[in-house]
C-alpha cells in the first residue's frame, strides 16, 4: 500500500462501526486509505475486529476493499503541534558555531505489527547558534490508545544538500507522544545522545485544534405568531444562519416544525458556537421563522438578529420577528409578526482528552492475576502462567496496557493483586481472596 502525504492521497486513521453479513462489527481501523476524501473506493486495514452476533468472539486481521457510498466516519484523534528548542548544543564547527537543524521521525505500528518509521519534517536551519529556537512547528495526529514513538535528530548543516549524511550529526533523542503531552505543562526536556555532551532538546506539545469546542444550549418558543394558513394555524419552524463577512450566510441549525399553533415551543437543542458565529460570542447571527408547507414553499413569518452574548446575558430574551415586505408596506403601523422568546440559553465547553491531561488528570490501573491451580504450573507449556522466552498471555496483556498508561502516571507505580478462587465447602458460594502481588 502506498503511504502518500499529499492532500489528495492521505491516510485517515478512524474508528467505525459497520454491519456486514448480518453480523455487527466493531472495528479499530489501523489505516484507512482514500484516493480522495469523497472517494467511494476505500481500503481499510483493520487492526482488531470484534465480531458480535456469534457466541464465539472471533478476531480478524487483514485488508478489506469496499466499494460503496462514503461512510460517515468519526476521527478519534487530536492534533498536537510540536514546538522545538535546544540548549547548549555541541559545537561542530571550528571557526564558527553550529548551524543546527532538527529532523523529526514518527514510528507507528502497521496492521501486522511491524513498525514503520517516517520522517514527518525538518525545522529551518538556525545559523551560528548553540541555543536555537526553531519557528517551524509540526502537526501530529495524537491517539491515546497507541504508543507513538517519536525521534528527534539534530544536525549541524554544512551545505545545501538534503542528504543528512552530508551533515554533521550532533545528537538524537527518543520519546513518545504520550510522554510529551503527559509531561507537566506538556513540555518535555530530552538529553541528546551522541558523542560526548550534545546538549538538551525542549519539546512542547499543545493541542492544535483551532475549532472552538464551546456550544450553546437553547430553549425557545414563539408567541402570537402570524397566521399564514387560510384554513388553519401556522406550522412554524426556525432556521439559524451564520452571517459571513462577505455578506453570505450559512444554515447552522433548523428546528422541527410544530403543527397547527401560533405559540410553538421547540425542543431544546445544542449548537456549536463556531458553526453559529465563527466562535465569536459577539458576532450576530440571523434567525428566520417559517410556516412549514409540505410542498416546500414555506411562508416567511419573520426575521430577527441577535448574538450569543446578548442571549446569554438576557438582553434579547424576547425578540420581535420582522417581515420585511409587511414592514415596507404598512410603515409605522407595522409592529411585528410575533415574538421569539428564549426561555433558556446556556453555554458549555466540550473538553478534549488532552485538556484533561494538561489540567492535571492522571491515569492509573490495577492488575489482578488469577493463580487458580486449574490454570496450571509455570513449567507446563499448556498453562497460562508458563514462563518461556516468549511472553505469555498475562505478560502481553499487562505490557500492552501499561505501555499506554505509564506516561500519564507520574509515580510509575501500578497496583498488582493476586489470589486463587477458593470454596470453603462444596456447597458454598465462591469466595475470592486477593493479596498484594510482589515481584510483578
Domains and CATH numbers, the chain: 78-207 (2.60.40.150), 214-349 (2.60.40.150)
pTM: 0.45
**What pLDDT is attached to residue 209?**
56
271-303: per-residue pLDDT in tens? Answer: 888 778 878 899 999 999 999 887 667 899 999
Provide the terminal-to-terminal Cα distance of the chain, rounded to the nearest Å: 40
Q: Match 491515546 to its residue by C-alpha cell.
A: 144
Q: Would you state the cell numbers that stand for residue 430, as one nine-digit string?
A: 465462591
Residues 6+ apart with CB under 8 A from 273: 212, 214, 215, 216, 279, 281, 308, 347
pLDDT along the chain (440 residues), means of 10: 34 36 36 36 38 32 34 59 90 86 88 81 88 86 87 93 92 94 88 94 79 83 88 89 80 89 95 83 95 81 96 93 93 93 90 79 80 76 82 83 82 75 52 56
**Residue 274: what are its φ and ψ, rounded to 5°?**
-70, -40
**What pLDDT is attached to residue 212?**
57
**What pLDDT is attached to residue 164?**
92
**Distance from C-alpha of 323 to C-alpha of 244, rounded to nearest angstrom:** 22
DSSP code at position 185: G
Residues 6+ apart with CB under 8 A from 62: 45, 46, 111
DSSP code at position 426: T
Beta-ladder partners of 339 = 223, 320
**What pLDDT is attached to residue 262?**
94
**What pLDDT is attached to residue 22?**
32
DSSP code at position 23: E
**What pLDDT is attached to residue 419?**
65
138-166: per-residue pLDDT in tens? Answer: 989 888 878 899 999 999 998 889 899 89
**Distance from C-alpha of 389 to C-alpha of 260, rounded to nearest angstrom:** 76
Q: Match 508458563 to its residue by C-alpha cell.
A: 386
Q: Would you state the torsion angle of the CA atoms of residues 315, 321, 326, 331, taken in this order, to the nearest 10 degrees?
A: -20
Residues 6+ apart with CB under 8 A from 266: 219, 220, 221, 237, 238, 255, 256, 258
| Residues shown for the chain | 440
**Distance from C-alpha of 161 to C-alpha of 139, rounded to nearest angstrom:** 25
**Distance from C-alpha of 43 to C-alpha of 159, rounded to nearest angstrom:** 41
**What pLDDT is attached to residue 433?**
56
Q: Would you state the torsion angle of the CA atoms of residues 402, 407, 413, 415, taken in this order, to the nearest 10 degrees?
A: -40
DSSP code at position 287: E
Amino acid at each position: 500500500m502506498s503511504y502518500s502525504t499529499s492532500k489528495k492521497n492521505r491516510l485517515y486513521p478512524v474508528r467505525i462501526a459497520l454491519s456486514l453479513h448480518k453480523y455487527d462489527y466493531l472495528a479499530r481501523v489501523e489505516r484507512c486509505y482514500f484516493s480522495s476524501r469523497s472517494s467511494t473506493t476505500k481500503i481499510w486495514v483493520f487492526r482488531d475486529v470484534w465480531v458480535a452476533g456469534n457466541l464465539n468472539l472471533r478476531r480478524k486481521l487483514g485488508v478489506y476493499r469496499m466499494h460503496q457510498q462514503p461512510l460517515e466516519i468519526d476521527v478519534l484523534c487530536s492534533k498536537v503541534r510540536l514546538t522545538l528548542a535546544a540548549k547548549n548544543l555541541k559545537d561542530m564547527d571550528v571557526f564558527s558555531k553550529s548551524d543546527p537543524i532538527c529532523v523529526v521521525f514518527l514510528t507507528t505500528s502497521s496492521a501486522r505489527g511491524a513498525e514503520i518509521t517516517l520522517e514527518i519534517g525538518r525545522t529551518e536551519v538556525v545559523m551560528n547558534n548553540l541555543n536555537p529556537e526553531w519557528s517551524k512547528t509540526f502537526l501530529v495526529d495524537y491517539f491515546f490508545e497507541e504508543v507513538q514513538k517519536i525521534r528527534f535528530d539534530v544536525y549541524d548543516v554544512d551545505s545545501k544538500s538534503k542528504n543528512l549524511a552530508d551533515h554533521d550529526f550532533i545528537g538524537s533523542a527518543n520519546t513518545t507522544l504520550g510522554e510529551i503531552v503527559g509531561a507537566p505543562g506538556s513540555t518535555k526536556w530530552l538529553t541528546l545522545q551522541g558523542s560526548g555532551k550534545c546538549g538538551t532538546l525542549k519539546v512542547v506539545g499543545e493541542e492544535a485544534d483551532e475549532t472552538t469546542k464551546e456550544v450553546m444550549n437553547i430553549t425557545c418558543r414563539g408567541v402570537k405568531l402570524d397566521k399564514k394558513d387560510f384554513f388553519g394555524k401556522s406550522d412554524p419552524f426556525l432556521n439559524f444562519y451564520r452571517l459571513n463577512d462577505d455578506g453570505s450566510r450559512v444554515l447552522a441549525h433548523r428546528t422541527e416544525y410544530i403543527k397547527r399553533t401560533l405559540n410553538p415551543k421547540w425542543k431544546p437543542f445544542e449548537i456549536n458556537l463556531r458553526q453559529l458565529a465563527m466562535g465569536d460570542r459577539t458576532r450576530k447571527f440571523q434567525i428566520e421563522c417559517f410556516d412549514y408547507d409540505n410542498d416546500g414553499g414555506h411562508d416567511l413569518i419573520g426575521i430577527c438578529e441577535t448574538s450569543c452574548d446578548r442571549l446569554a446575558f438576557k438582553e434579547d430574551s424576547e425578540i420581535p420577528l420582522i417581515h420585511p415586505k409587511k414592514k415596507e408596506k404598512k410603515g409605522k403601523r407595522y409592529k411585528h409578526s410575533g415574538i421569539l422568546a428564549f426561555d433558556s440559553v446556556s453555554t458549555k465547553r466540550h473538553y478534549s482528552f488532552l485538556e484533561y491531561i494538561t489540567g492535571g488528570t492522571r491515569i492509573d490501573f490495577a492488575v489482578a492475576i488469577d493463580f487458580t491451580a486449574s490454570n496450571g504450573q509455570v513449567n507446563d507449556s499448556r498453562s497460562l502462567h508458563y514462563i518461556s522466552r516468549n511472553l505469555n498471555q498475562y505478560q502481553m496483556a499487562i505490557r500492552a496496557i501499561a505501555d499506554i498508561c505509564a506516561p500519564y502516571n507520574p509515580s510509575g507505580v501500578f497496583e498488582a493483586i493476586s489470589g486463587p478462587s477458593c470454596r470453603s465447602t462444596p456447597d458454598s458460594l465462591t469466595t475470592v481472596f486477593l493479596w498484594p502481588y510482589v515481584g510483578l
